[in-house]
Chains A and B, each alone.
Chain A
Amino acid sequence: MKNMLLEIFYVLAGLVSIAAAIYALKDKKHPAPQGTAAFWGIFGLIFIIGKYLPPALVGFLILVMGALTAMNKVTFGSLKNSDEASRKESANKLGNKLFMPALTIGVVAFAVAQALPKLGGLVGLGFGSVLATLYCLGITKSAPSNLTYDGSRLLLQVGAACILPQLLTALGSLFKAAGVGEVIASGIGGIIPEGNILAGVIAYCVGMALFTMIMGNAFAAFAVITAGIGMPFVFSQGANPAIAGILGLTAGYCGTLMTPMAANFNIVPAAVLDTKNKNRVIISQVPFALALFVTHIILMYIWAF
């Protein structure tokens, strides 16, 4: 049931992408209409029928998408929002009702996840989005064609960066298949003096943060680094496992805040907010992340032993 519903939502998401392809193609002022349309068309296709295609063919299509972005063929174009005066006028007219559809997405996603745990938050996000879309049409009395137009406008603005989270997970699978984690763990393990608790704590936290920055994902780093460094240098020296374990994981989260590899947290949001500097989110987070990282080392050393 859950998977069937998810597939339906993937088809809808694919249609959003294909709509963006069509609008890019029709956009007279677009600098690269064919390339941009091909990118979003392929992406939409993978969402809709990717499950039934041979994985190697999907892999090949992703290489084509990569080549299109590398040649700067995937760009925004000239889709426009309404002008500021009419936005202000309609904001005054509609008032706080405008917030309701936006809140619907999160609230419905949460309610479904709580009430029907078998379906989960993702199905909830799907239902929330569909309800929010209908709700939004009801409130604004907008022509339904604006849905495809404005959805495409936002997607083209976010741009190719939105495939990065999926791409980086694929990279993680390749790293795992090639055995990259073991090499790193044994490399760090080789330079730590044995029997020194502080050195072990520092190595574990640094290993987690560094490997998370490389993989873009603290979960992927945790199993490798805990087995390679945490076990011999922290846990076997008598650390409280619950404390050292969770602090090891969140030391990795400090790395997540500082890496472009964690694209869904750092790069896609910058694109969503349309920042001038595409690394703006990371730059804002580095001082916080470094301070909290040092705190992790101190806390683990004092509290876990």
Chain B
Amino acid sequence: MLKLIGVLIILIGFIKKYNTIAVVLVAGIVTGLVGGLGFIEILNIIGSAFVKTRYMTLFLLTLPAIGVLERYGLRERASTLIKSIKSVTTGKVLTVYTLAREIAAAFSLRLGGHVQFIRPLVHPMAHGAAEINFSKVDEKEEDIIKGYSAAAENIGNFFGQNVFVASGGVLLVVGTLEELGIKVTPLNVSKSAIPIAIIAFIYAVIQNYMLDKRLERKSHTKTIKMEGK
């Protein structure tokens, strides 16, 4: 039971909103010590895992180009583009992206990403849609649009990818079950991922629809503002 102390440290750290990086490091070191590892051994594990996972932070390479594009009006252009389409809403923009992301993931196309797509393209479009529909969008609502924009990427990515027969998740299921003495084929596993992919999309549509309703309720519509003056 003592080995769970790291989990406890993380729970308390997150609830108390301590610095996340410090909490994770303390939890790791304490868990290692309780689990009977030496301090140098712990540093070894942290160091080699960190070097091995540098690929996770390879997105640094995209930052110079995206930064310069933003300097030259990338986000403004995305807003303009979306404003030229009639009857577009924030929720509809996000639903279209979720659908595209899910279908792409199902064909193993890694066309997505928060840095590659959400920040430069999808969020400015979602935000731009709110700007054409309402005269003023409050700061709180602006933050919420950002949250749902990031969520659209995660939902499309997570629940579409396993429909692809050689996705990491499908192969993990096949491999894990095989080690436990159960034989399944990748094709059967990937076919079994289809219903939840569809249900996840339906829920996303509902969620984005409710976001639109919320924005309508909380934002100043153009007509009300005119009546007020």
Contact = CB atoms under 8 A, between A and B. Distances in A.
Interface of A: 6, 9-10, 12-13, 16-17, 46-47, 50-51, 53-63, 65-67, 69-70, 72, 81-82, 84, 87-92, 94-96, 98-99, 101-102, 105-107, 109-110, 113, 121-122, 125-126, 128-130, 132-133, 135-137, 139-140, 142, 146-151, 153-155, 160-175, 177-180, 183-184, 214, 218-219, 222-223, 226-227, 231, 235, 240-243, 245-250, 253, 256-257, 260-261, 263-270, 272-277, 280-281, 283-285, 287-288, 291-292, 295-296, 299, 303
Contacts of A13: 54, 57-58, 60-61
Contacts of B159: 250, 253, 292
Contacts of A265: 154
A197 B95 CA distance: 36
10 cross-chain pairs, A with B, having the tightest CB-CB distances, nearest first: A178-B35, A150-B67, A91-B73, A59-B43, A58-B47, A284-B147, A151-B64, A59-B47, A55-B47, A129-B61
B64 to A, nearest CB: 3
Contacts of B85: none
B148 interface: yes
Contacts, number: 420
B73 A288 contact: no
A62 B47 contact: yes
Given A106-B116, A168-B24, A214-B7, A296 B196 contact: yes
Interface of B: 1, 3-4, 6-7, 10, 14, 19-22, 24-25, 27-29, 31-32, 34-37, 40, 42-51, 53-78, 80-81, 109-121, 123, 139, 143-144, 146-151, 153-155, 158-159, 162, 168-170, 172-173, 176-177, 180, 182, 184-185, 188-193, 195-196, 199-200, 203-204, 207
